[in-house]
Amino acid sequence: MLILARHGRTAANAQRLLLGRADVPLDVVGVQQAKAIGASLSRSAPQPLRIVSSPLLRTRATATAIAAAFGNEVEVEYDDRWIEVDYGEFDGSPLADVPSEVWQHWRTDSSWVPPGGESLAQVGERVREACASLAADASANDVVVVSHVSPIKAAVAWAVGTGDDSAMRLFCDVASVSRVRTGGDLPTLVSFNETAHLDGSAR
C-alpha cells in the first residue's frame, strides 16, 4: 500500500496563509498531529518498507514522528519530487488576499505558472514519476510518503487516472492520510483524507 500522509499543522496553516516552499516548522498542534499519524499507522499497519518525505521542515518532522512510532527501524528518505508546489510571489500570502483572477487561473488552467512559481501540471509530472518509482515496492509492502497538499492531490489524480486540473476539486486536510493500492494493472484509491486519528485535534 502507498500511504500518503500530509504534514501536521504549521502556524502558517493556522493563519490561513498560502504555504508553498517557505520552510516553516510544525506548531504545537502540528507536533501532536504528527505523533497521532504515527500512532495510528503503527497500530493498524505492519512496519513499512520505506518512509519517504519531502525535504521541508514540516514534512521532515512529521516523517520523523512516524518513524519513531515504528521504533525508528526504518530510516527516512528524502525526495524532492514530493516537495510542495512553488507558489512564487504568492507564497506566504493570506488566502483571502490572493486575487480572484489568480484563483481562476489555478482552477481552470493546470499549466498556468504564477510569477516565480510552478504550475500544477509541473507538480503532477514529478509526482507521477515519484509514484511510479514506488509502485513496485508498495505493491508488496507499505510505503509511507509524507508530503503536502498539492503533491498528495496529484498522487490521488495519478491513482484514479484524472488530469492535473482535478486538484482544485479535492480537499486534503492537514495531517490527513490517504491510501493507494498499487498491485495489479492499475493503481486504486482505497481511502482519501482520513482524519479520524486526529481525535478532535485542532486543524
| Tens digit of each residue's pLDDT, the chain (203 residues) | 999 999 999 999 999 999 999 999 999 999 999 999 999 999 987 899 999 999 999 999 999 999 999 999 999 999 999 999 999 999 999 999 999 999 999 999 999 999 999 999 999 999 999 999 999 999 999 999 999 999 999 999 999 999 999 988 999 999 999 999 998 889 999 999 999 999 866 66
Calculate ∠ Cα 28-34-36, nearest 5°.
105
Q: What is the pLDDT of residue 54?
A: 98
Q: What is the pLDDT of residue 201?
A: 65
The cell numbers describing 181, all together, are: 493500492
Whole-number Å distance between alpha carbons of 183 and 203: 33
Flag whether 124 is in a domain: yes
Q: What is the pLDDT of residue 82?
A: 98
120-146 residues labelled b (16+ CB within 10 A) or e (exposed): bbbbbebbbebbeebbebbeeebbbbb
Terminal-residue alpha carbon distance, the chain: 26
Flag whether 145 is in a domain: yes
Q: What is the pLDDT of residue 203?
A: 61
Flag whether 18 is in a domain: yes
CATH number of the structural domain spanning residue 159: 3.40.50.1240
Flag whether 129 is in a domain: yes
Domain range for 50 is: 2-198
Q: What is the pLDDT of residue 202?
A: 60
The cell numbers describing 173, all together, are: 486536510
Flag whether 203 is in a domain: no
Q: Is the overall model pTM greater than 0.85, yes or no?
A: yes
Write phi, then psi, for 92 (nearest 5 degrees): 90, 0
Q: What is the pLDDT of residue 162?
A: 95
Total number of domains constituting the chain: 1
Q: What is the pLDDT of residue 129?
A: 98
Flag whether 110 is in a domain: yes
